[in-house]
Each structure stands twice: as structure tokens, then as C-alpha cells.
Amino acid sequence: MSTDRKKTDCNKLRVFVGPGNTAGNAHYIARALRGAGIRARSYVYRAHEFGYPVDREIIQFRSLERKGLIKVVNNRFVLRPLNALIRFLFFWLVLFRYDLFYFISPVTFFENHRDLPLLRFFGKKVAFFFPGCAEKNPHDDLNSMKYSDCWFCNDVGKQHYCLCHQPEQKRKKIEYFEEYANLIFSRLNTSGYLRKPEKALPMWLMTDAPDKPVDFTRFEHPERWKIMHFPSHKELKGTKYVEAAIAQLNARFDMEYISNRMTNKEVLKNLEKAHILVDQFTHTFGLLAIEGMSRGCVVICRMEQWARDCYPDIPVVSCNPEELEETIAGLLADPGRMKKIAQDSVDWFHQHATLEVVGKRLEKTLG
């Protein structure tokens, strides 16, 4: 990763964010930068399945639902070249509009990522945001540990997309990104393929604050306890453990369990009324945990020690999946403790994870 960090007038800096769209990060990063006075805009090739907002979507034609020869011919000889042409034209359309290109890994303009040498040729800066599985070394110490994403994962399709079955090819891809990047934002468990992982910058997650003040009175004598779990991937989020715990707890507590697949707006609306949000049991937290804390939920999210060391003051409740029933029961038996955790969570969100706070951090980093 390049260490060229010349001081830049951030008010004049123009930043392209995208075109990947993991958990709406492109939109949040662009808005955070705009809030800090930097001219930034997000573009994505595909609208997110959960409806995260974006500044602009660039049309990419999707595969036919049909099977067999017609699908193969259409995808390979019609859609693929058509989408490649759209990406090529889009690249040249925005190339001279922006100074820094902030990519949500592993997506850049072209499928083969040959846009990166072109960006360097034209004197552009490049940043990468490493959100998760597509960057992890599944065989390093962190991702080989019990309860890591890679330890949980048996999703062959996801592994194929992330090149986990071809580790050397995946390594070369990440090292190629590193070669052309001026900045990389990553966590320890997504830095395993970097030649110089110590150069990676902290990865900040953020979300919007709720429109109205958080109601902490919901922890005082509720009619029913509301427990929520919104898995984007049931296996990786440990949904079977959540459902097993809820089945046992239903006999002891009056609860409402919500775990339907819904849009991000609907999730946020539900979180405003939730008492407990069960996020995941891997090594660290994701955007859903931030969203839960911002709305005053008690968030259960397993934190491996290395992650706890990185975020020592984050007020999530950590437990192994086998301990979930006992953990929830202990919380429900102590509403006062739950209310205090919820208040601490909102405070932590305002100190670390609002668009304004992260925008100021990014402004200092990019400058």
C-alpha cells in the first residue's frame, strides 16, 4: 500500500464511492464525507436486497431466470459484453470528475480490475474498504479460530464468489488491490492477505441516528419482551442457536420474537421498539449491531478477544452461541441492567458511529 499522504485541501477533494454495495456502506461513506465538507457521491452497480439507499445506481443487466443453453448463450455473449461496455463507458464518464476513488471491495469498475492501473496513470488516488468475506484469508490464525465466519461457513456458493477455494488466486487479488491503494480500511480479520497489514487503517461503520429520542422507558414493566434477530445469512449469523434458545425461553418469559426478512427501513423501525437484538456469534460486530445500539437495544454479539481489544468500550453483550439462552434469561431477569446497557449503547453510538463523527475522522485521514 502506498504511503503517499500529501496534505490535501479536503474542501476541494472530489471523492467517488462505490460501486460495490455491501450493507449500504457506499451511501453512508459518501454522506459522511459530504457532511465533513468533501464533495463525494456514491454509485452502485446493484441496488441492495435490503433497500439501503444510494445516490445513484448504474444499470447492470441481470441473468435470465431460464436454464440451459439459452441462459448460457445470453449471459456469455449478450449480457456480459453489454455490462462490460456500460462499465467501460461509466469509468470514462467519471474519471475526470473525481480525485479519489473509494472502492467497496471487491468491486471496482471492471471485473478484471484493470481500471486500477489506469487510475494511477491519470494521477488518481485509490482507497479500499474491506467489509468482510471477500478479503479474509480463511486459513490464517484469526479466521481458523472457533466461531470465526470461516469456521461457521459451509456456503459453497459464497466461498466460490470469495475465492476461498482458490487461496493463492485470492491472495494475488488482494495484493493487487494493495499495490494500487493509497489507503485501505480494514479489520485484523480482513487484513490477512495484505503484505503490510500494519498499514491498514481502522474500518468505521456508521448509520443514521433515529428521528426521535430513544425511549428507554420501554425497559420498565413491558407487556412483552421484544427480541429480534435479522440474519443476512442464517448460517453465518448462527440463527439455529437463536431459534433453539427462543424455543426454550418461551416457556419462561412472555416474549415476542421477530426474525422476518425485511427492508432496512423496516428493520430500523422494529429496532426502535426492541429490547434485545441478537446479532451474531463470530468475532466482531457488523452494521446491524450499530443500528441496534443507535436505537437503544441491548445488543448480543460475540466479541473475540482481539476484537474486544480493538473496541474495548463497546457495550455489546458477548456470549458463545451455546450460552445464549442463559444470557438472555439473565438479561430479562434484570431490567435495570438492560436499561443501563441500552443507555450506554446510545452514548457509544453518538461518540463513535454517527455519520458526523466518522465523517470528521475520514476528513483527517483523507487530508
Domain ranges across the chain: 14-206+355-366, 216-352
C-alpha–C-alpha distance, residues 26 and 15, integer Å: 11
Residue 253 binned pLDDT confidence (cut-offs 50, 70, 90): very high
Average pLDDT, the chain: 92
Evaluate whether 14-206+355-366 and 216-352 have a shared fold.
yes
* pLDDT value, residue 248: 97
Residue 80 binned pLDDT confidence (cut-offs 50, 70, 90): confident
CATH of 14-206+355-366, one of 3.40.50, 3.10.20, 2.30.30, 1.10.3470: 3.40.50
Mean pLDDT of 66-86: 71
Which residues, listed in sequence order, are joined to residue 278 by a DSSP beta bridge? 300
Q: Give 122-170 pLDDT, tens digit per residue.
A: 999 999 999 999 999 999 999 999 999 999 999 999 999 999 999 999 9
Q: Give 314-341 pLDDT, tens digit per residue.
A: 999 999 999 999 999 999 999 999 999 9
**Residue 46 pLDDT more than 70?**
yes
Q: Give 256-311 pLDDT, tens digit per residue.
A: 999 988 999 999 999 999 999 999 999 999 999 999 999 999 999 999 999 999 99
- 25, with CB counted inside 10 A (0-12, 13-18, 19+), is buried
Sign of the C-alpha dihedral computed for residues 114, 116, 121 and 124 taken in this order = positive
- Beta strands 225-228; 255-258: pairing state: parallel
The pTM (predicted TM-score) of the whole model is 0.91
Tell the CATH superfamily of the 216-352 domain. Answer: Glycogen Phosphorylase B; (3.40.50.2000)
C-alpha–C-alpha distance, residues 327 and 119, integer Å: 50
Q: Give 339-358 pLDDT, tens digit per residue.
A: 999 999 999 999 999 999 99
Q: What is the 3-state secondary structure (H, E, C) of the chain?
A: CCCCCCCCCCCCCEEEEECCCHHHHHHHHHHHHHHCCCEEEEEECCCCCCCCCCCEECCCCCCCCCCCHHHHHHHHHHHHHHHHHHHHHHHHHHCCCCCEEEEECCCCCCCCCCHHHHHHHCCCEEEEECCCHHHCCCCCHHHHCCCCHHHHCCCHHHHHHCCCCCHHHHHHHHHHHHHHCCEEECCHHHCCCCCCHHHCECCCCCCCCCCCCCCHHHHCCCCCEEEECCCCCHHHHCHHHHHHHHHHHCCCCCEEEECCCCCHHHHHHHHCCCCEEECCCCCCCCHHHHHHHHCCCEEECCCCHHHHHHCCCCCCECCCHHHHHHHHHHHHCCHHHHHHHHHHHHHHHHHHCCHHHHHHHHHHHHC
* pLDDT value, residue 62: 74
